[in-house]
Copies of this chain bind each other. A is one copy, B any other.
Amino acid sequence: MGNSFGELFRITTWGESHGAGVGVVVDGCPPRLALTEADIQPELDRRRPGQSRIVTQRQETDIVRILSGTFEGHTLGTPVAMLVANTDQRSEAYTEMATKFRPSHADFTYHAKFGIRAWPGGGRTSARETIGRVAAGAIAKKILREQFGVEILACVTQVKDIAAAVDLERLTLQQVESNIVRCPDGAVAKRMIALIERIRKAGDSVGGVVTCVARGVPPGWGEPVFDRLEADLGKAMLSLPASKGFEIGSGFAGTLLKGSEHNDVFRMRDGRVRTLTNRSGGVQGGISNGESIHFRVGFKPTATILQEQETVSVEGRNVKLKARGRHDPCVLPRAVPMVEAMAALVLVDHALRHRAQCGA
C-alpha cells in the first residue's frame, strides 16, 4: 500500500527500475481538457537521466504514452493511464548490490519489510519511480494554469554550502532552465556546477535545497485540521526520494523572530485583502490566503557513491562495498520538476476538494 496520492485528483504509480516499465494512473481528471503526450513529454525531459553532464549518464529517453482516458485529444473524465517503457537496463552493474546493502539506501529496509527485493537498478526504490509523478504532475499543472490561473515554479537554491537568493515573485521558467543546475542566478549556478563536477570525479555526492513557489492560488484552498495545505505539501515533498526536510514560508528561520516581527500585516490592495510581508508562505491556518505559496525542500547527498564503504551483506556479515554504475552525484537538478509535479498534484487536489464542499 501507499502507492496512491491525492483524494480527488488521485494518482497511483507503479513500476520497478528494471521491469517492463513504469507508469501512473490518474483518476479524477476533469473531462474535456485538451491533452496529448506533447503536454507530458517536456516535463519528463526535464526529469530524465543523461540530460546534462552533472546528472547520471544513463541514457533513458523516457518516452511517455497515454494509454487511456483521452479521446480525440481531450480527457474523458475516465482514468488517464500513462506508460514509460524501461530501456538501457544494465543489471550487471548491480550484481554486487544483490547481496550487499548500500549504506543509507533503501536496500536493507525493503529487504527487512518485504523479505524480497528487486535488486537490479534498485527496483521500486529507483528514482525512475518518480516518472509517474512527473507525468501526472504535468496534467495537474495544465489544469491549474488553464482553469485556475495558478503557476508553479521550482529551482535549485542551494547545493551543499553554495546558496542563491531568488526573487520568487519574478522567477520565470526561462531563468530556471537557463543552466543545467536549474539555479536562476547564473553566477551562483556556475559555482554549483563546478562543485558537482568536482564531487562527481571524486566518486562522491552532494545535496542541497529546492525552493518552490505557486503564484495565483486564490484564498480558500486547504482542508484543516489535518489536510492543511502545508501538511499535504510537506507530505508530498517528503515522499520524494532523498528529501529530509520541508519548511513553508519563514520555516525554521522564523523560529528566531518574535511574533511582533513575524506577523504578516494585512492591508487592502486593489480591493483585496493582502499581506505586506509573506512569512506565512501563502498559508494561514492551513488555508491559502491569496499570497504566493513558497516552501523549501532539503535533499540529502545521494546515498550511492562510488567509493568503497563498510556495510553488511544479506547474510548478515560485515563486508565492503564499492558501488558501480551510473548515479547522480547530485539529485537537485532533476528534483526540480519532481517538486513542481508534487506541488501541482497537491494544489489541484485541493482546488477540487474546495469546489466540492464550498461550491466554487
Contact = CB atoms under 8 A, between A and B. Distances in A.
Contacts of A239: 224-228, 231, 286
Interface stretch (A41-49, A51-59, A105-113, A166-174): A105-113
Contacts of A112: 219-220, 273, 287, 289-290
A324 interface: no
A22 B68 CA distance: 8
A113 B286 CA distance: 11
Contact of A235 (B81, B234, B300): B234
Interface string A306-327: 0101111000111000000000
Given A252-B298, A273-B101, A318-B267, A289 B1 contact: no
Contact of A259 (B78, B284, B301): B301
A207 B262 contact: yes
Nearest to A24: B25
A216 interface: no
A288 interface: yes
Interface residues of A, number: 155
A1 B20 contact: no
Nearest to A203: B260
Interface in A4-52: 4-5, 7-8, 10, 12-16, 19-23, 25, 27-32
A340 interface: no
A72 B257 CA distance: 38
Given A104-B284, A265-B310, A16 B71 contact: yes
B358 A13 contact: no
Contacts of A312: 266-268, 273
Contact of A226 (B5, B66, B260): B5
Nearest to A67: B20
12 contacts: A2-B353, A8-B353, A12-B12, A31-B115, A83-B83, A105-B285, A113-B219, A204-B258, A244-B250, A258-B301, A265-B309, A271-B316
The 7 A-B pairs at the shortest CB distance, nearest first, are namely: A106-B285, A2-B223, A205-B259, A2-B227, A245-B247, A109-B287, A235-B235
